[in-house]
Structure 1
Amino acid sequence: MLFVNPRSGDGAASRTKIVERAREHGVEAVTLRPGDDLRTRVLEVVADGADALGVAGGDGSLAVVAAVAAAHGLPFVCIPCGTRNHFALDLGVDRQDVAGALDAFTQGVERLIDVGEVNGRVFLNNVSVGLYGEAVRQAGYRDSKVRTLAETARKALGPSGRMPALRLVDDTGREHARLALLLVSNNPYAPGLASRPTLASGQLGILVLDTPEERRHPPGRAWSAPHLEVQAPATVHAGIDGEAVELAAPLEFAVRPAALRVRISARHPGAPPVARIPSPGSRRADAQP
């Protein structure tokens, strides 16, 4: 069963005729309409006996369906029809071969990956609070992400700005009580890159940036851990896989190792570009000694 969000990626699903192509693969497709509750629709098809679940849409829709697939032990297929297709990149799905991604239903290679959770809610990519959590709530965020984030930072970090009072302890035992940004990802990102080498490390990636008045050096820290607790005095605005949500304090983050069965087309890489970059000093297997 494939769920299709026709509004994702400026209509990518319609341009690639994904519904018609899915039916050619023997996959039943459900086109989501405005007002549909995606989780309810997915639970209905699972109750009717669906044996695999897929999504042609953005990362927010992917996370909803993946959560149900993980809960029921069903295989999950990612069809990259969103705007950025962040999860597809790190999963190793060829984002330029939307139609070919459908092969995963019938000729897919299956493996297990981790999922993240915050307060029991599944996420595939990351959860961000602080500046990003405030920016994603703004009306202009979808159309101009960088501009909206910059404007949010200017207001929040200015003389009259107020950041949410978040508090956590990092892996060195140092307390962070005034955060500009907290990013918790399902598996760590490669240093300096917006991509994760693996989705099966059994670890969360954690990045904190302190507000300027903290005057710390360095002003932030990155580490990995299987869980994290964040204290806050009230409800926290957050972005979860690009969707604006509110989370009740405390925020309890955890990784669920090998919780999701994913299927990837056999003709797709099956690993992100960063994982395919040779490490310094490595050589090809067929190189002469």
Structure 2
Amino acid sequence: MVCFAGAVAVVLARLADRPIALPVSVVAVSVTAMAGWTALVGRGRRRVAASLVAAVAFSGLIAFAGVAGLTSMLVTTALLFASGGAARAAFGRHRPKGTIVGPAQRGVLLVNPRSGGGAADRHHLAQEAARRGVEVVSLAPGADLRALAEHAADGGADVVGMAGGDGSQGLVADVARRRGMAFVCVPAGTRNHFALDLGLDRNDVAGALDAFDTAVERRVDLGQVGDRVFVNNVSLGVYAEIVRSDSYRDAKASTAAAMLPDLLGPDCTPPDLRFAGSDGRAESSADVLLVSNNPYQLHSLGGLGTRPRLDSGRLGLVALRVDRARDLPTLVALESVGAISRFRGFQQWSSPVARVDSAQPVSVGVDGEALCLTPPLLFRSLPGAVRVRVPRHAPGVPVARPGTWGTVPALIRIAAGRPAAMSRRVRGGDEKTVRPVEPLTSLL
């Protein structure tokens, strides 16, 4: 922010006697800085759009180089780049506290070789694990993962790891919880959301194996629906119906495009999902309902944001209800500016337990796995359920990124020593993070 102010000051000093060039240059500097901040701390399409805006504004600024003077423009450019880099560093990462523990006495790594498009083979996990003295068990087609994890416990393993997707992580973490073993998450799946929120570097797959050596250990929560444990979330409604499709895994976008008219069109019937909303009153339906293991600071309704904590002992709940013909234009408009949290059909809250009723079996996506469950669906948090080990060199949990209009206020709060995201009190004394999220289409 100081570098940004310095860039504006240089332009003001240089163009004070040029009434036309001055306002144009100040606006160009401001737009370049703010769009640059958003591009550096944002994700996905927001990053691309902000980068284009910053480039256009910066080009306009360069066009005035002949008026302002080359030296002044070089100084201004350097200050803008310094401002952007410092803004990115300011958001940083959060390293959760834990206890330093010694190497595993007998470590076992379960590997799904098909997960993540063959990520285990690409990163030579079997060889890397063997080099660290960790026993490797590779899953054959049709293998019972839970039985293999139980067998590892029976064989005396004190630390068990899973190299695979989040659904597999949840199953093995549940066995570790029941059998008193520590758990290691190796991000060899497709999205690896659990690894992200544990503070792992998802690009350093083999590096996650260092958690079998001297590591940082802490207790984290698990979520449970019925007798099924999950590490990330359970989705119900529109998203769950799309995930159930046989063609979804191979063609996500085209499957969603083909199904959405029937699921959100003006003539379709809303899902039969009955639950208690954020104010405690009964809700008769929701087009999207997300129940997560600890609340998300959302970047999309598909749960693509981050969870600043995995040990709050609470479930995060998000509901979206769309009144087809009337609400869809508003929803699209708010999505386009990254402000869906202002949509009147959007709710977000937290609770240690939740219940969802329906008159028929409910389609759900449990950590991305399509299931059909018999109501009532009883959700609860399992506080501190499992001991998780992460490498000492793990970078930490990314701080929640603000929306396009939230970057400047977020930087002001960081400079004042406060959290980047604003919070407000909701029912039961819980804190609800107030922040825009990225477009609903991200969920697809």
Residue 400 of structure 2 is aligned to residue 248 of structure 1: no
Q: Which has the higher strand share?
A: 1
Deviation digits for residues 211-245 of structure 1 (CA, Å, limit 9, x no counterpart): 42597871121111111111111211110001111
Q: Which has the higher helix share?
A: 2
Q: Structure 2 CA distance, aligned partners of 1:172 and 1:215? A: 24
The Cα of 1:209 is off from its aligned counterpart by 1.1
Deviation digits for residues 49-99 of structure 1 (CA, Å, limit 9, x no counterpart): 111110111111111101101112211001111111111111101111111
Q: Structure 1 CA distance, aligned partners of 2:280 and 2:210? A: 47
Change (3 A) 1:172 1:280: same
Selected match of 1:210 from 307, 321, 326: 321
The Cα of 1:47 is off from its aligned counterpart by 1.5
Q: Which runs of 5+ in 1 are unaligned?
A: none
Aligned to 1:227: 353
Q: TM-score, normalised by structure 1?
A: 0.91
The Cα of 1:45 is off from its aligned counterpart by 1.7
3-state SS, counterpart of residue 136 of structure 1? helix
3-state SS, counterpart of residue 78 of structure 1? strand
Q: Structure 2 CA distance, aligned partners of 1:57 and 1:222? A: 30
Q: Structure 1 CA distance, aligned partners of 2:313 and 2:376? A: 22
Aligned to 2:141: 34
Q: Structure 1 CA distance, aligned partners of 2:134 and 2:388? A: 16
Q: Structure 2 CA distance, aligned partners of 1:144 and 1:125? A: 23
Change (3 A) 1:183 1:276: closer
The Cα of 1:157 is off from its aligned counterpart by 2.3
Aligned to 1:51: 158
Selected match of 1:187 from 294, 300, 313: 294
Aligned to 1:126: 233
Deviation digits for residues 142-163 of structure 1 (CA, Å, limit 9, x no counterpart): 1233433343322122355344
Q: Structure 1 CA distance, aligned partners of 2:226 and 2:361? A: 12
Q: Structure 1 CA distance, aligned partners of 2:215 and 2:191? A: 23
The Cα of 1:284 is off from its aligned counterpart by 9.7
3-state SS, counterpart of residue 20 of structure 1? helix
3-state SS, counterpart of residue 249 of structure 1? coil
Contact persistence 1:198–1:275 (CA under 8 A): no
Selected match of 1:200 from 311, 335, 354: 311
Contact persistence 2:230–2:293 (CA under 8 A): yes
Contact persistence 2:221–2:381 (CA under 8 A): yes
Aligned to 1:136: 243
Q: TM-score, normalised by structure 2?
A: 0.61
Q: Structure 2 CA distance, aligned partners of 1:18 and 1:110? A: 22
Sequence identity of aligned pairs in percent?
A: 48
Q: How many residues align?
A: 284
Residue 398 of structure 2 is aligned to residue 273 of structure 1: yes
Residue identity in the other structure for 1:282: I
Single out whichever of 140-149 and 250-259 deviates more from structure 2: 140-149
Selected match of 2:414 from 282, 286, 289: 282
Residue identity in the other structure for 1:241: D
Residue 180 of structure 2 is aligned to residue 73 of structure 1: yes
Residue identity in the other structure for 2:308: P
Tell which has more relative contact order, 1 or 2 (C-alpha 8 A, sep 6+): 1
Q: Structure 2 CA distance, aligned partners of 1:177 and 1:23? A: 53
The Cα of 1:257 is off from its aligned counterpart by 0.9
Contact persistence 1:164–1:236 (CA under 8 A): no
Q: Which runs of 5+ in 2 are unaligned?
A: 1-107, 328-342, 403-409, 418-444
Aligned to 2:195: 88
Selected match of 1:257 from 370, 383, 398: 383
3-state SS, counterpart of residue 166 of structure 1? strand
Aligned to 1:99: 206
Q: Structure 2 CA distance, aligned partners of 1:2 and 1:276? A: 33
Contact persistence 2:278–2:348 (CA under 8 A): no
